Amino acid sequence: MNELWQLQKNFFLNCKPGSDTTDSFYQNFIGSKALVEERLAIYRQSIYLSLQQALSSIYPHTAKLLTEEIFNQLTEQFLAKQLPTCSDLNYFGSQFPCFLQEKISLHDWPVYIADLATLEWAWHESIFHYNNPLIKSEDWQQCLREKGDQIILLPPKESSWIISAYPLHLVWQKGYDATLEQHNQLFYFLIWQKAGVRCMEVLTSDAYLLLNGLSAEKTLLDVCAEITNEVDIVNFPVLLNKLVRLSCLYLYNF
């Protein structure tokens, strides 16, 4: 007879959707193989529904865009390939956008569906990331007066960038929109947590260049010198103040 922990482990492995149960497993239970399978089916269905509901809660806009029927079919296919490696389902489903990307060419779906799913995963994940503090206007002004060009600003800790040729925020604001079209410009979405609230901001290419430059822990003077040819230097102070106001930055080591 197997040890209890071995039975528990084997039971869990055989309850996973699509698991291939071996004959030796049935010997641990009373009853025929058919009866054991009937009992296992209850647990398998329960686990499958839990995983499917987890994906639906993480990707609600993606599910609406695809329709519930198609989304459920896709989650079934996804679960056949990708099962949780962690008991906390909040961390399950990060590969779903890549899974969608692989299937776009085979179906008549909106071409931005994988980008939308990527944005939704970043939004979901941000709630478990670092809680960035707010930069108060008076603190910012004081630092400018006292430290000047020695100030080092950084993008929010554990923030995520999503770059897309599609205005994905319109799907969030207006729901399903089949007329969403590709633009000549790129859209830069910054997702982070500040003061206990999840935030998403659609930023300009200038803001993106500035934030990327600041990520190397350089002073404002150094960053300004490097991006002068790419960013409208006349609007640099306005852009910087906007990012501070949105708390898209935090003061480093001050």
The pLDDT tens digits of the residues spanning 115-169 come to 999 999 999 999 999 998 888 878 888 887 887 767 777 888 899 999 999 888 8
Same domain for 123 and 146? no
Residue 191 pLDDT greater than 90, yes or no? yes
How high is the mean pLDDT of the chain? 79
Closest CA to 194 of 230, 170, 158, 165: 158
Same domain for 6 and 90? yes
d(CA 90, CA 107): 29
Same domain for 108 and 176? no
Specify the residue for token string 């300009």: 204
Residue 5 pLDDT greater than 80, yes or no? no
Same domain for 142 and 99? no
Residues in contact with 48: Cβ distance below 8 Å, sequence separation at least 6, in sequence order: 17, 79
Same domain for 122 and 136? no
Q: Which long-range contacts (CB under 8 A, 24 or more apart) does 84-93 make?
A: 84/51, 89/50, 89/51, 89/54, 90/54, 90/124, 90/128, 91/128, 92/51, 92/54, 92/55, 93/54, 93/55, 93/58, 93/59, 93/121
Q: Which domain holds residue 236?
A: 131-254
pLDDT band at 95 (very low <50, low <70, confident <90, very high): very high
The pLDDT tens digits of the residues spanning 43-86 come to 667 777 888 899 999 999 999 888 899 999 999 889 888 877 77
pLDDT band at 22 (very low <50, low <70, confident <90, very high): low
Residues in contact with 166: Cβ distance below 8 Å, sequence separation at least 6, in sequence order: 111, 112, 115, 180, 181, 182, 183, 187
Residue 211: CB atoms within 10 Å: 22
- Which two structure tokens, joined as six digits, stand for 44? 């398998």
Instruction: Decide which of 128, 158, 193 is a domain's last residue.
Output: 128
* pLDDT value, residue 6: 65
Same domain for 111 and 8? yes
Do 187 and 207 contact (CB within 8 A), yes or no? Answer: no
Instruction: Decide which of 110, 128, 146 is a domain's last residue.
Output: 128
Same domain for 109 and 162? no
Instruction: Decide which of 128, 153, 169 is a domain's last residue.
Output: 128
Strands 197-203 and 250-251: unpaired
Same domain for 101 and 56? yes
| CATH number of the CATH domain containing 227 | 3.90.930
Residue 254 pLDDT greater than 80, yes or no? no
Residue 31 pLDDT greater than 80, yes or no? no
Distance of CA 219 to the CA centre of its chain: 30
Cα-trace Rg, the chain: 24
Same domain for 77 and 170? no
Residue 19 pLDDT greater than 60, yes or no? no
Same domain for 7 and 64? yes
Residue 241 pLDDT greater than 60, yes or no? yes
Residue 250 pLDDT greater than 70, yes or no? no
Same domain for 8 and 124? yes
Give the chain's domain count: 2
Same domain for 116 and 12? yes
The pLDDT tens digits of the residues spanning 195-224 come to 899 999 998 888 888 787 777 777 777 777
